[in-house]
């Protein structure tokens, strides 16, 4: 079980490495996992999202319990959309309400798969070996936009706004997802608590099948989809997604009136 994190140092440099006992053992990059020899106290560092994905593949309808509730058949191939690379923020960073959108914003607590090596048409075994580790994703969604246009469901727009992909706090290698669960709280009240073993496509199946569609690169993230208990976030509310063994990903939704202040505060924390 290795824990990988990414930080901004005091002088504005981005550092990546393995965290142990309050210290970061720096590595060249997620792609080139070679130790640099540097060891830094994490106290002096600002956490960022643990990776900077080029692609974020977000699954829909990947839990049996949710499929049953929606009364939809379980899919034969992962159903996915792409979230924009510009939507990523780390743990503790504000989710900003878009200036142009006054509607409902919902949280979706999810397991995230982080790719460690390039995958194309990968077998299940190759896919398993290509998973660097697991992280937590809050797949934030401007829910009213999904069906706003009756002729075209706006998945990419509704889920692609800046700050709408919270990822963190860490990537944990060797995490036993089959025994894990996702617990989401809204201002401290539990709203989601579902077992990862209820997934339709296992992580290795997702990586293998999706690698037939598009080449996955180191640092790319697959958000495994959510299950029961999705709900709306009021401006000012805090969503905390916990997966025991990985950590807690906590983010607060900031309304447009506070957004200017949050942007200034968040600038130092940007990926």
Count of positions (residues) in the chain = 271
In sign, the C-alpha dihedral spanning 124, 184, 22, 269 is: positive
String marking each residue 97-116 x if it binds its own copies according to CB under 8 A: -xxx----------------
For residues 254 and 234, is the Cβ–Cβ distance under 8 A?
no
String marking each residue 177-196 x if it binds its own copies according to CB under 8 A: --------------------
Shortest distance (Å) from residue 1 CB to its own copies: 30
DSSP state of 216: B
String marking each residue 201-240 x if it binds its own copies according to CB under 8 A: -----------xxxxxx-----------------------
Tokens read off for 150: 């009756």
With CB under 8 A, what is the number of residues at the site for its own copies? 39
Distance CA(25)–CA(251), nearest Å, equals 26
String marking each residue 53-92 x if it binds its own copies according to CB under 8 A: -xx----xx----------xx-xx--xxxxxxxxx-----
The full DSSP string for 191-225 is: EEEEEGGGBSS-HHHHHHHHTTTS-B-TT-EEE--
State phi, psi for 217 to the nearest 5 degrees. Answer: -115, 160
Q: Residue 159, SS3?
A: helix
Query: Is residue 23 near its own copies by the rule CB under 8 A?
Result: no
Cβ distance to its own copies smaller for residue 54 or 174: 54
Residues at the site binding its own copies, with contacts judged by CB under 8 A: 54-55, 60-61, 72-73, 75-76, 79-87, 98-100, 120-121, 149, 151-157, 160-162, 212-217
């Amino acid at each position: 079980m290795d824990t990988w994190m990414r930080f901004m140092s005091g002088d504005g440099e981005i550092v990546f490495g393995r965290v142990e006992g309050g210290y970061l053992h720096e590595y060249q990059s997620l792609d080139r996992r070679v130790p640099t020899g540097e060891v830094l106290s994490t106290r002096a560092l600002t956490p960022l999202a643990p990776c900077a994905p080029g692609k974020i593949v977000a699954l829909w309808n990947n839990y049996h319990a949710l499929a049953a509730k929606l009364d939809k058949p379980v899919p034969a191939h992962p159903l996915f959309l792409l979230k924009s690379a510009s939507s990523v923020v780390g743990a503790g960073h504000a989710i900003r309400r878009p200036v142009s959108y006054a509607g409902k914003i919902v949280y979706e607590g999810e397991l995230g798969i982080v790719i460690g090596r390039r995958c194309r048409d990968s077998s299940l075994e190759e896919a398993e070996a290509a998973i660097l580790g697991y992280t937590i994703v809050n797949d934030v969604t401007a829910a009213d936009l999904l069906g706003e246009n009756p002729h075209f469901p706006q998945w990419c727009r509704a889920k692609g706004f800046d700050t709408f992909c919270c990822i963190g706090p860490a990537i944990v290698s060797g995490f036993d997802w089959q025994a894990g669960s996702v617990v989401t709280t809204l201002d401290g009240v539990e709203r989601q608590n579902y077992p990862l073993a209820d997934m339709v496509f296992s992580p290795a199946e997702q990586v293998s099948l999706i690698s037939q569609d598009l080449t996955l690169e180191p640092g790319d993230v697959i958000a495994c989809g959510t299950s029961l208990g999705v709900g709306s976030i009021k401006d000012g509310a805090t969503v905390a997604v916990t997966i025991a063994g990985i950590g807690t990903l906590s983010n607060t939704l900031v309304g447009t009136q506070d957004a200017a202040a949050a942007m200034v505060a968040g600038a130092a924390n940007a990926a």
